[in-house]
Amino acid sequence: MRLTLGLALLAAAIAAVGAQENAACMPLQQPSGQALKAAGDNGITNPALLDTLVKTLPDPAVRQWANDLFDIWGRLTRQLIPDVSQNTQIYTMLPVPNPFVVPGARFRESIRTYYLNRSQPPLYSAMVAIVYEATQDLSILRNHLPAILLEHAYWTSPPKQVVAVGPTGQRYNVSRYYARWQQPRPESYIEDLETARKAGLPTDPPDADTQQLWRDLASGAESGWDYSTRWFADGENLTTIRTTKILPADLNGYLLQMEENIADFAAELGCTALEQQYRQLAANRREALNTLFWSNDDSQWHDLVCTPAGVEGNVGSTPEDQAVQDGIVTRVCNVEQLTDPFASNWVPMWAGAVPAGSMQIAQRFLSTVYATYAETGRMYEKFNAEQIGIPGGGGEYEVVDGFGWTNGASLDLMQRFGFSTT
Ligand SMILES: *[C@@H]1O[C@H](CO)[C@@H](O)[C@H](O)[C@H]1NC(C)=O
Ligand SMILES: *[C@@H]1O[C@H](CO)[C@@H](O)[C@H](O)[C@H]1NC(C)=O
Ligand SMILES: *[C@@H]1O[C@H](CO)[C@@H](O)[C@H](O)[C@H]1NC(C)=O
C-alpha cells in the first residue's frame, strides 16, 4: 500500500485520534497510486519446461490444464514500481528489485514490512537445493550460501533458539517460532483486538498478558499454521494460543534439513571447515529430534511444550490429524469453525506428504484440484480432504483462489507421476 504520509507520522495520527475524543482528524487521503504493476511473464516461467511436460501428458484435457497453469503464472507475476525503493517511508512494502510471483486473490504481494519482525518457515535452502540439483550450476550455491548462513543464524539465535533439557539431563539447542512483535498484526488488526477482548484482556492500554497474546498470534502467523489447534493450550480456543511456548517438531526438521543442505553446499564448494561445522550441528539436531521429539508409543514426532522446569512432551498430533483415506488431514480451523477438522487442507501438506512412489496420494490430489478447476475455472488455496473437488473452508478468511502453491504442486506432481482424467 502507498501511504500519503510516512509510517511514523501515520501511527502518531492514529494514536492522537484514539487519545482525544474530538480530535481534529488529519486529512488522511485514500492511498493513491499502485505500488505493484503486473510484470507479465517476465522470464519467470520457462516455456521449454512446459513443452517438456506437455509431451509426457497423453490426456488432451490435462495438457490444456498444464497450459492454463503456465498462463496463470504470468498473471500472478508482479514487479514493484521504482517509487517503492525511492520513497521507502511511505510504503508498507519492502523494496525488492526483481519480479516475483504472488499467491493470488487477497495475497497480492508477499513482501510486507512486517516481515522485518517475523519470518516464515525456513525453506530457502531447500529451494536452492532443488534449483542446484536441476542445473548443477555451482554459481547458484556461491551466490546464495551467504544469505542462507544469515538465515540459519537468525533461527538459531535467542529468542528463537532455546535450550531444551532431555530426560537424563542432556541439553539440546532447539528452535521455536517467536515474532518480535507485541501488537495486533497490521494485516489482521481488528481480529487481534477482538481475540484479546474475547480472552478478557485489556487492550487500551494492553498489559503484559495482552502483549504476550499478540506475540503468540504473530508467531502463529510466522509458523504458517495460522491458526491450528496445535498452538492452543486448551486445544479449542484461539484465545489460549501459546505458540512461543511450543518447540515445534516440523520447524526443527526444517532446520535439520537446512543444516544438511549447508554442509552439502559447502562440500560442493570445497569449504571443508564450514562443511564439518554444519555436519556437527545437523548431528546434534538429529539427536535432539530422535531423543526429545520422537515417541515410540505412537511412532510420531511430537511438539514439546516449554515449562518453567524444562520441556514436556504432551502436545502434538491428535488422532484426527492422521491421514484419512488417501488424503492428508490437518486441522487449520480456529474455534468458530472447528466443526469439521477435515474440511480444510493446505496444499503444501499434501504435496510435501507425497514421497517418491506415492502414486495414490498424488492422483488423489490431482483429481480433486482438477475437478474443482474444471467446475469453477479456479485454482484454490486449500481443499477438502474427504470429498473430491471441494475447496477447503474455515480458518481466518474465506478460501481464496489463484493460487501459487496449488499451481506449483499440481505441475510438480503431474511431472513426477503423470495424470489422466479418464
Ligand atoms: C547452543 O548454541 C550456543 C550458541 O548459539 C552454543 O554456544 C552452545 O554450545 C550450544 N549448546 C549445545 C548444547 O549445543
Ligand atoms: C520490528 O523490528 C525492528 C527491527 O527490524 C525493530 O526496530 C522494531 O522495534 C520492531 N518492532 C516491534 C513492534 O517490535
Ligand atoms: C473455549 O472452549 C470451551 C470448550 O472447551 C467452550 O466451552 C468455551 O466457550 C470456549 N471459550 C470461548 C471464549 O470461546
Neighbours of 202 (CB within 10 A): 11
Cell numbers at 78, concatenated: 508482479
**Residue 234 Cα, ligand 3 centroid: separation in angstroms?**
9
Is the minimum distance from the CB of 342 to ligand 2 under 6 angstroms?
A: no
Query: Which atom, in ligand 1's list, is nearest to the CA of 161?
Result: 5
| H or E stretch covering 219 | helix 208-223
Query: How many angstroms does the Cα of residue 237 sit away from the middle of ligand 3?
Result: 6
pLDDT for the residue numbered 260: 98
Sketch out the chain's domains with CATH numbers: 117-176+248-317 (1.50.10.10), 194-245 (no CATH)
Check whether 377 has a pLDDT greater than 70.
yes
17 CA → ligand 2 middle, Å? 23
User: What number does the ligand 3 atom closest to the CA of 199 have?
Assistant: 13
Q: Is the pLDDT reported for residue 31 higher than 80? A: no
- Ligand 2 centroid – CA 219 distance (Å): 14
Question: Confidence band (pLDDT; 50, 70, 90) for 351?
Answer: low
Local confidence band at 325 (pLDDT 50, 70, 90 cut-offs)? very low
Confidence of residue 104 (pLDDT cuts 50, 70, 90): confident
User: What mean pLDDT comes out for the span 47-66?
Assistant: 88
DSSP 363-413: HHHHHHHHHHHHHHS--BSEE-SSSTT-B---SSS---B--HHHHHHHHHH
- Find the 364 Cα to ligand 1 centroid distance in Å: 44
What's the length of the chain? 422
Calculate the alpha carbon distances from 241 to 121, 122, 191, 228, 394 in Å. 18, 22, 14, 9, 18
Q: Quick check: 285 pLDDT over 90?
A: yes
For ligand 1, whether the C-beta of 277 sits within 6 Å is no
Mean pLDDT taken over the chain: 79
359 lines ligand 2 (CB under 6 A): no
Q: What is the pLDDT of residues 196-232, one digit of tens each?
A: 999 999 999 999 999 999 999 999 999 988 888 888 8
Q: Can you tell me the mean pLDDT for 318-346?
A: 37
Report the alpha-carbon distance of residue 74 to residue 43 in Å, rounded.
Answer: 9
The predicted model gives 271-289 an average pLDDT of: 97
Contact 284 CB / ligand 1 (< 6 Å): yes
d(CA 164, CA 274): 25
What pLDDT does residue 357 have? Answer: 57
Phi/psi of residue 47, each to 5°?
-55, -30
Angle CA 324–325–329, to nearest 5: 30
Residue partners of 139: CB distance under 8 A and separation at least 6: none
Contact 399, 382 (CB under 8 A): yes
Q: Which three cell numbers stand for residue 386?
A: 474427504
Chain-centre distance for alpha carbon 348: 9
Which has the higher per-residue pLDDT, 85 or 8?
85
For atom 6 of ligand 2, which residue has the closest CA? 117
State which amino acid sits at residue 250.
Answer: D
Residue nearest to atom 11 of ligand 1 (CA): 173
Of ligand 1's atoms, which has the minimum distance to the CA of residue 157? 5
